[in-house]
Chains A and B, each alone.
Chain A
Amino acid sequence: MTSTKSGFTSSLWNFFCSLKLTIFLLIGLASASIIGTIIPQNAPPDQYLKMYGESTIRLFSVLNFFDMYHSVWFMLLLYFLSLNLVACSLKRLPRDWKLFTEPDQAMDEQMEKSLTLVRHCRMPGSSVKLRDTLEAFLRREFAAPVVTEDNGRYYLFAQKNLFSRLGVYVVHFSIIIVFIGAMVGSFFGYRAYVGIEEGGETSVAYRRTPSTGHTESPEQIAASTIKLGFTVRCDEFSISYYDNGMPKEYKSLLTITDNGKTVIDKRPIIVNSPLTYKGITFYQSSYNRVPTFHFTVRDRKSGAQTKITAKQGERVSIPGGSFLQVIEYTDEIRQFFPQLSGPAAKLALIPPSGEPQSLLLLKDYPEIDLQRGGELVFTYDSTDYTWSTGLQVVKDPGVWIVWLGCALMVGGIFIAFFMSHRRIWVRVESGHISVGGAANKNQPAFEQFFDRLTEKLKAM
């Protein structure tokens, strides 16, 4: 019973320790990642309908190919990679740890056979004197040795860059740290967006991208709303251009008020220079030109006129208890109706009860609404524009963990690749000296060093 169980456990352990699995996972991740670069990710459904047949779409959505990098199977690959890493490290660590806690300090005959670099020579003088000479020699030429004695033999052992053995662990551990940072970010952070008009302010942002285009239900909007805990005002937005017409700079001046106090006053933010307050960072991301419409309402009977100002989508009340809402507008109607020209607005006239009515107003044709025959006659007088800045609003408490992981990874790779643990052993035995050496990296360079060292020793 127990033996089959431990047999299973140990084969599972071996499976996760195996480097075949590592190579399989690395190549597998590389190949799988290609899919998501060919199939558009998180695109609107109609785009997929244009690209693929229905059965292909069904297959792809079952396989999660439309949001591949967040799919369960892709996460599972990353999860296996982490398990593989941890298992490999745990398996190797005891062996490497011995190099720190109980290094082989005495090179006896048996150990000598296992070394590829060994030289012998004879030197005059007592063992004690030779021991002291060699100790000074090693200290000068290489590193301070540890001396041990056994049966009239003296053993010297010196090493350099022992810590470089840990480079591999640092690299592997750093990958796990990056994963942890990414998870912290996705659990405790958010990526949101908010548009603020010049002069306007907000204390919320919305978890969505500006380009979705779909109008969302109030519940959806409420669910995606994030309270910032302070207020951001956009004092000004501006664009500057190079002489050749390319955009040079998008700039918003932001003011933050927290608890009624102005904590940040008219700070300019531009692309590549965001603003962070209380762990929330605001990035200049897009901009918009927001129209304000001016209409006149005239009572057909009395001739009384009222001026009305409205933003797109805003419901404004008009005389008589109805409401007016701008649904759509265009700067140039000609692209839709070649025989007409100038700005146009499509409005909904919403009576207190009953069906809303749709109106089309043209700025250059003021009489157009007369023909409708309604009690109220509308004219479209003018439009002015203000800027609205689009800010990416990001909170990512995991990002520092990610950077820490990256720094460790770079440091670890340099240690693991370019530093080698070099060891030199010396045995002194009645005028006979044996020198052995080993390095775990860059063998040829160490061999040269070792040859020079032993030449110097013989010349003494």
Chain B
Amino acid sequence: MLSSDLFNAATVLYFVSMLLFFVFLASRGKTVGLSGSIAAWCGFIVQTAAIGLRWKESYDLGHGHAPLTNLYESVVFFAWTIILIFVLIDLKYKYRVIGVFVLPFAVFAMAWAQLGMKMRSGIEPLLPALQSNWLLYHVVTCFLGYAAFAVACGVSIMYLIKTRCEVGNGKAKAGGIMALFPPTKVLDELNYKAIMIGFPLLTLGIITGAAWADYAWGSYWSWDPKETWSLIVWFIYAAFLHARITRGWVGKRAAVLSVIGFVATIFCYLGVNLLLSGLHSYGAG
């Protein structure tokens, strides 16, 4: 079996899990919710095996590097980290409905990686600049941070929907689908917790990136767009934490800031490569 078959299987499982969660949202059947979770867990196991197998395949080809080196591999890894964090939350809090808002991120990432026309999915050897152990530390810390922010964003969207419905219908009628949502207080707390986990990871990601740049090019910070955007994201979440700890920004304002933070995160990850490099080539500068 090839790792690409396993990746396809994982994509299908995540898709099934997402559908089950949607049905769960409509029907509120307990078994449907559980099956949704089980599909997500199975997908996670299959994907973990796929990543391991791809790593081995890279050794078989004589390259021998962790599968974290191009856009395809990073998008797949991003989906993996999102599901990892979802599984942890699922085990701890058992609010299945969070899956409705978190799984689409993973499904979208996997589908894009598998079907994206321009994405090169082959295992390639590493260019000289990428031949460094820092690559692994840097990518893993950054992406775990991104995944935590994705979860915070999903939870914040749930928070915004739920408060809006409660305001619209009056307190008494916040029943129906909304009854499945965790209480707003829990959502708010989860948002904060996820960012508390994501922020140190992003900090480590930026530092390992700087260390690597220093080792490879002799300059730990050169204000290139990617670096700058990671710093922008860092500033936004630092503002979030300070606003919350000391100015009591909870609830709606925290949720909105968390969504903004994640939009910036996605821009840092994809937008910089896909949009800004089209505007200008920073190699020339």
Whether, in the assembled complex, A378 has its beta carbon less than 8 Å from a beta carbon of chain B, the answer is no
Docked Cα-Cα span, A394 to B210, in Å, equals 15
Whether A392 pairs with B218 at a CB distance below 8 angstroms is yes
- The 8 A CB mask of B116-155 against A (1 = contact, 0 = none) is 0000000011011101100000000000000000000000
Whether B280 pairs with A43 at a CB distance below 8 angstroms is yes
Whether A19 pairs with B247 at a CB distance below 8 angstroms is yes
Size bin of chain A's contact surface: 35 or more
Whether A26 pairs with B242 at a CB distance below 8 angstroms is yes
Whether A417 pairs with B196 at a CB distance below 8 angstroms is yes
Chain A residues, Cβ within 8 Å of B236: 26-27, 30
* B 246-280 contacts with A by CB, 8 A: 246-247, 264, 272, 276, 279-280
Whether, in the assembled complex, A110 has its beta carbon less than 8 Å from a beta carbon of chain B, the answer is no
Chain B residues, Cβ within 8 Å of A38: 276, 279
Docked Cα-Cα span, A413 to B205, in Å, equals 14
Instruction: Choose from A40, A43, A392 the contact partner of B217 (Cβ within 8 Å).
Output: A392
Whether B246 pairs with A19 at a CB distance below 8 angstroms is yes
Nearest-neighbour CB distance to chain A for B64, whole angstroms, equals 13
Residue picked from B128, B129, B238, B285, most chain A C-beta under 10 Å: B128
Whether, in the assembled complex, A123 has its beta carbon less than 8 Å from a beta carbon of chain B, the answer is no
Chain B residues with a Cβ closer than 8 Å to the other chain, count: 45
Chain A residues, Cβ within 8 Å of B223: 36, 41, 69
Chain B residues, Cβ within 8 Å of A41: 223, 282, 285
- The 8 A CB mask of A271-297 against B (1 = contact, 0 = none) is 110100000010111000000000000
Docked Cα-Cα span, A22 to B239, in Å, equals 8
Residue picked from A36, A244, A272, A392, most chain B C-beta under 10 Å: A272
Whether B242 pairs with A271 at a CB distance below 8 angstroms is no
Whether, in the assembled complex, B52 has its beta carbon less than 8 Å from a beta carbon of chain A, the answer is no
Docked Cα-Cα span, A42 to B239, in Å, equals 30
CB nearest neighbor in B for A249: B128
* A 12-35 contacts with B by CB, 8 A: 19-20, 22-23, 26-27, 29-30, 33-34
Residue picked from A26, A43, A283, A409, most chain B C-beta under 10 Å: A26
Residues A283 and B216 in contact in the complex (CB < 8 Å), given A30-B236, A410-B200: yes
* B 78-107 contacts with A by CB, 8 A: none
Nearest-neighbour CB distance to chain B for A32, whole angstroms, equals 9
Whether A272 pairs with B128 at a CB distance below 8 angstroms is yes
Whether, in the assembled complex, A422 has its beta carbon less than 8 Å from a beta carbon of chain B, the answer is no
Instruction: Choose from B211, B217, B225 the contact partner of A403 (Cβ within 8 Å).
Output: B211
Instruction: Choose from B128, B228, B272, B284 the contact partner of A36 (Cβ within 8 Å).
Output: B228
Number of residue pairs spanning A and B whose beta carbons lie under 8 angstroms apart: 118
CB nearest neighbor in B for A175: B238
Whether, in the assembled complex, A47 has its beta carbon less than 8 Å from a beta carbon of chain B, the answer is yes
Docked Cα-Cα span, A403 to B208, in Å, equals 10
Residues A248 and B128 in contact in the complex (CB < 8 Å), given A33-B232, A283-B217, A406-B210: yes
* A 42-98 contacts with B by CB, 8 A: 42-43, 47, 51, 69
- The 8 A CB mask of B168-180 against A (1 = contact, 0 = none) is 0000000000000
Instruction: Choose from A23, A249, A399 the contact partner of B214 (Cβ within 8 Å).
Output: A399
Whether A244 pairs with B128 at a CB distance below 8 angstroms is no
Docked Cα-Cα span, A269 to B105, in Å, equals 43
Docked Cα-Cα span, A26 to B257, in Å, equals 13
* B 153-172 contacts with A by CB, 8 A: none
Whether, in the assembled complex, B204 has its beta carbon less than 8 Å from a beta carbon of chain A, the answer is yes
Nearest-neighbour CB distance to chain B for A362, whole angstroms, equals 32
Docked Cα-Cα span, A250 to B131, in Å, equals 12
Whether A250 pairs with B128 at a CB distance below 8 angstroms is yes
Whether, in the assembled complex, B219 has its beta carbon less than 8 Å from a beta carbon of chain A, the answer is yes
Whether B284 pairs with A30 at a CB distance below 8 angstroms is no
Whether, in the assembled complex, B231 has its beta carbon less than 8 Å from a beta carbon of chain A, the answer is yes
Chain A residues, Cβ within 8 Å of B239: 22-23, 26-27, 30
Residues A283 and B127 in contact in the complex (CB < 8 Å), given A37-B272, A41-B285: no
CB nearest neighbor in A for B131: A272
CB nearest neighbor in A for B268: A37
Instruction: Choose from A394, A403, A406 the contact partner of B218 (Cβ within 8 Å).
Output: A394
Residues A247 and B127 in contact in the complex (CB < 8 Å), given A191-B218, A274-B215, A409-B203: yes
Whether B216 pairs with A43 at a CB distance below 8 angstroms is no
Whether, in the assembled complex, A449 has its beta carbon less than 8 Å from a beta carbon of chain B, the answer is no
Whether A37 pairs with B210 at a CB distance below 8 angstroms is no
- The 8 A CB mask of A400-437 against B (1 = contact, 0 = none) is 00110010011001100100000000000000000000
Further contacts, 5 of them, CB under 8 A, given A271-B216, A410-B200, A410-B207: A19-B242, A22-B239, A30-B264, A47-B284, A246-B125
Closest 4 CB pairs of A and B: A394-B218, A30-B235, A271-B128, A37-B225
5 chain-A/chain-B pairs, Cβ below 8 angstroms: A19-B247, A36-B228, A37-B276, A249-B131, A413-B200
